[in-house]
Homo-oligomer: A and B are copies of this chain.
Amino acid sequence: MVRLGPKAQPLLFGKQAGRPLPPTPSPSPRPSRGPIGVEGAIPERESRYPASWSAEMARGRIRGLAVSDVRFPTSGAQHGSDAMHPDPDYSAAYVVIETDAPDGLKGCGFTFTLGKGTEVVISAVHALSIHIINKDLDDIISDFQGFYRQLTSDGQLRWIGPEKGAVHLATAAILNAVWDLWAKQEGKPLWKLLVDMDPKQLLSCIDFRYITDALTEEEAFLILQSGLSGKKEREEQMLKYGYPAYTTSCAWLGYPDHCLKQLLDANQRWEVEEAIEWVTELAEFKPLWIEEPTSPDDILGHATIGKALAPLGIGVATGEQCHNRVMFKQFLQAQALSYLQVDSCRLGSVNENLSVLLMAKKFKIPVCPHAGGVGLCELVQHLIIFDYISVSGSLENRMCEYVDHLHEHFKYPIVIMNASYMPPQEAGYSSEMKEDSVKKYLFPQGEIWQKFSCS
């Protein structure tokens, strides 16, 4: 899809002028919270952990994994329950893990899916779950790199991937739950957990397999080391102003209707040459980038398109369907993208996202995450805030997608203020859904879906 960026869509952090401002999204309701600060900003920790426990003692053994097929009838109430209907219903394969620790904390994770795609991913979650059940959380996080590789190298599941498709989305859902649980146990929002980890700890979470020709562990270490300088100030800045957002629906303002339509219809549907021809014709509208002009697998095609459009000042953005770090590595090596759109739920959770953020830094490519769907905004804000504070150190040409959609089903929905994502304060990965929403939208048993099946 073609989306307009800061040039035409002035949402960036007090630096924009020109076109009329789109309506600012209104902040979602959020429980009140204490004063914001850099150190000691998270009030829950002390009250949650009795003084005599160490964090490690609390971790516990994972004794259960539950996965739910949560679907929202976004394709229209009258069609949502019709299995023959091709319209997408925004959905999540929603994973909850529990431990035997006395803290009673649950790790919640998910991956974004559409309708019946959810059942395939759920089947993959079940197949992968043997790797996590009865595992000590401490064993996982003390060798997170190893655990990531264990999941992605399962001898019976690797063949139907590897690291792509349903198994990789399932891997993301499970690992997202692990990260949520870990952050909850530490009493920190995920971004803060990451920001507080030292470079070596961060690196121990990343599987560098297949990317060392682009980024060695040593190079990654140096990036993180140099990110320590000014970190405190950037954290303060984030807490005060948040991370710049852009919203897709507003991005179309200023486009004549016929162009809008043509562009929308072409989403991922162009051949390489077609993309170049179409976007060249649209150059007068000065889009900042053309998004996903062709197959998400076509690294060389994107490179050809990018090269042809560069003289027009139009960039290429892609990544929401880029399935793993090996693909992103090549997009960067081939100079096939000028904006990198990570997806928090397609890549293998925080672990694989970290490797992509680090590669983007090395290749000097701004990361502008994909969001929307179900809960993608909730998750990706943590990653991009961490990226700013500890990796990129820059907001230039950067923004995080925002869609005002389905946040009400999350226990800690995003907070947008002045067109920016405000850093979450609650412990965890903001991935926990309201119990009532899960129950109501469960497919096919939930109240919402039962209503359709009766009507």
Smallest CB gap from A159: residue in B: B114
User: With a CB–CB cut-off of 8 A, which chain B residues contact A281?
Assistant: none
A264 to chain B, nearest CB (A): 15
Pick out which of these stretches binds chain B: A100-108, A115-123, A184-192, A198-206. A115-123
| CB-based contact A159/B113 at 8 Å | yes
Smallest CB gap from A122: residue in B: B123
| CB-based contact B156/A213 at 8 Å | no
| CB-based contact B326/A273 at 8 Å | no
A117 to B296, CA, bound (A): 24
A152 to chain B, nearest CB (A): 11
| CB-based contact A297/B115 at 8 Å | no
Pick out which of these stretches binds chain B: A3-11, A85-93, A223-231. A85-93
From B168, B210, B298, B324, A301 is in contact (CB under 8 Å) with B210
From B120, B162, B209, B295, A167 is in contact (CB under 8 Å) with B120
A62 to chain B, nearest CB (A): 15
From B162, B168, B333, A300 is in contact (CB under 8 Å) with B333
| CB-based contact A166/B299 at 8 Å | no
Q: Does A259 sit within 8 A of B, measured CB to CB?
A: no
Q: Does A334 sit within 8 A of B, measured CB to CB?
A: yes
| CB-based contact A323/B164 at 8 Å | yes
Q: Does A36 sit within 8 A of B, measured CB to CB?
A: no
A171 to chain B, nearest CB (A): 11
- Residues 326-357 of A contacting B (Cβ, < 8 Å): 326-327, 329-330, 333-334
| CB-based contact A114/B155 at 8 Å | yes
Q: Does A383 sit within 8 A of B, measured CB to CB?
A: no
| CB-based contact A326/B297 at 8 Å | yes
Q: A165-B161, A166-B166, A296-B162 are in contact. Are A156 and B330 (CB under 8 A)?
A: no
A166 to B164, CA, bound (A): 9
| CB-based contact A87/B300 at 8 Å | no
| CB-based contact A117/B113 at 8 Å | no
| CB-based contact B294/A210 at 8 Å | yes
User: With a CB–CB cut-off of 8 A, which chain B residues contact A299?
Assistant: 299-300, 330
User: With a CB–CB cut-off of 8 A, which chain B residues contact A272?
Assistant: 212-213
| CB-based contact A157/B117 at 8 Å | yes
A313-333 vs B: 1/0 string, CB under 8 Å?
Answer: 000000001011011011001
Q: Does A219 sit within 8 A of B, measured CB to CB?
A: no
User: With a CB–CB cut-off of 8 A, which chain B residues contact A168?
Assistant: 165
Q: Does A197 sit within 8 A of B, measured CB to CB?
A: no
Name 19 interchain pairs, CB-CB below 8 A, sorted by A. A83-B130, A88-B155, A114-B156, A114-B157, A117-B127, A119-B126, A119-B127, A120-B123, A120-B157, A120-B166, A162-B296, A209-B271, A210-B294, A210-B297, A210-B301, A213-B271, A298-B329, A299-B299, A301-B330
Closest 10 pairs (CB-CB, A-B): A165-B165, A115-B156, A123-B123, A86-B155, A166-B166, A210-B295, A213-B272, A297-B326, A117-B160, A114-B156
Sample of 7 further A-B pairs with CB below 8 A, known A115-B155, A299-B330 = A88-B156, A114-B160, A117-B160, A159-B321, A164-B297, A165-B166, A165-B167
Taking beta carbons and an 8 Å cutoff, which residues of A are in contact with B? Answer: 83-84, 86-89, 112-117, 119-124, 126-127, 130, 154-157, 159-169, 209-210, 212-213, 269, 271-273, 294-301, 304, 321, 323-324, 326-327, 329-330, 333-334
